Structure 1
Amino acid sequence: MCCDNMAFSLGHAFSHILIFVGSLSILLGTPSSCFKPKKLVTVTLNLSSYLDSSSSMATWYGPPDGDGSEGGACGYGKAVGLPPINSMISAGSQFIFQEGKGCGSCYQIKCTGNSACSTKPVTVVITDLCPECSHYFDLSGKAFSSMAISGQADKLRTAGKVTVQYQRVACNYPGVSITFRVDSGSNQQYFATVIEYEDGDGDLKTVELKEGPGSANWEAMQRSWGAVWKLDKGASLRAPFSIRLTTIESGKVFIANNVIPVGWKPGQTFRAVGNFN
């Protein structure tokens, strides 16, 4: 099964508590009715290597048709198994995950090293960390199976590890707004949120929060872990909150004005009006 043994699969169930140092690379994808990739040439990049297809290996973990560890080290939780992601996810090596900076990035991948491989690429979102991986991608069972010729998914999964061609692509969630899910540990002096479904780069360089009506001051939030960002002010925070996002590669900015309302509570989810694209 995944990564050549069951211990490797079980390790992923607890990957959300691990934070490892890495550096960002390139990768994967599979389109669905809700999640449709665009080549990253539609985004202004600083690194031309992101435009090229490269080779690596891919393994799989979790249930054969499931969503890996359901959540993983990015903090997306059960959202990884629901539309628009629909379990089309991958854990990234430390090189891809990059201490959480790679969370939300999208890759297109096609397997080439097995007779059960189809010629069609799939698109996945990075939602987890594979700390043991020397190769770049450890796919969910569903994503790995989706690379197979129709009727040969079992054969491909039995192989466990295959050669792949991969390319980073722009994320594209048609009709889906950027989402802010308030962390359960938030209170009136400490605010933390998981940020999901960013079109384009998919990953975030900075997140800033502005309090209350009439304020002009943007306060920098810190990455708590994965895709969870926090502001520990040590004083009462005044809602509503506006949140400003800046992407890593293209430097695009999106402002969700007054997205967190007065009376917000931990565990609630709020949607911005619009998205990067």
Structure 2
Amino acid sequence: MSPARTPPAPPRDGAAREGALFVQALHALVEVNGVPQSALADHTGVSQGYVSKILCGKQLPKGHLRERLADFFHLSYREMLDIGRERLAQREDEEYSMPGQPGDPMFPRDAVREDISSPQGVTYPCGERALLKNLLRDIKAREVHQRYYTEVPLREATGSMGGGSTETGTRTITYLSFRTEWIRSKGNPEFMSVIRAFGDSMAPTIADGCVVLIDESRRQFVTNKVYYIRHNGQMYIKRLIGNARDIRIVSDQDQACIPVCEADDFEIIGRCIWMARDIE
């Protein structure tokens, strides 16, 4: 459920202003993502009524609660403050909207600013202006999302952890969003993709049916790392051990080992780097 009203503008003193900026960001993220207050309450361990007071600007959350609220959106506390500042700047821009025609009840204070309206002398009907404002709000939300999140393609290809998979398609099914700060700490996301893994031979390292993040720029063999590979026409997710001249394909579950022969069709597609946790 969206909050009943927009929280008030931040006060001027430092600590209170920072808390209010956080609430501005929280309010925006809840509104854009359609997050129910009950979900925030369950995640943070407070009552839904308390969450409602925060979103309405009647209560500033304490430091530890702010961290948990930020964690719900996979953001850091500082990133939340940045979003709050953007939200405040957007509200301040709206204060300079073009006023309506005097005495005309169809033109309230929410008129569109001149620099984003129709050409000079042309007036949009009220309904069209409201539609334009909604469009601009959606664009702003996407800009915020793109600033803090990076999308990685989920490929049609699959990786077997048992008898091998013949599915090698590179077509993108959809995109998964990762926090930009986190994924850049792992490497260059331009060379990353996500595939779905099947089978249990890599348990407990990788579970059957999970999605696995692949860094396709890391194709160099390093012993005892997990890779997405092609071996004799089949696609696998396996651990590789040995050395560059004696590579062996290992299953974590039972330590079954297959040597890679010189005549084999063998290629490292990329290293597996995440499956809801780091893969060692």
Answer whether TM exceeds 0.5 for this pair: no
> Which of the pair is proportionally richer in strand?
1
TM-score bucket of the superposed structures, by smaller chain: under 0.3
Higher relative contact order (CA 8 A, sep 6+): 1
Structure with the higher helix share, 1 or 2: 2
- The structure having more radius of gyration, on CA atoms, is 2
TM-score, structure 1 as length reference: 0.22
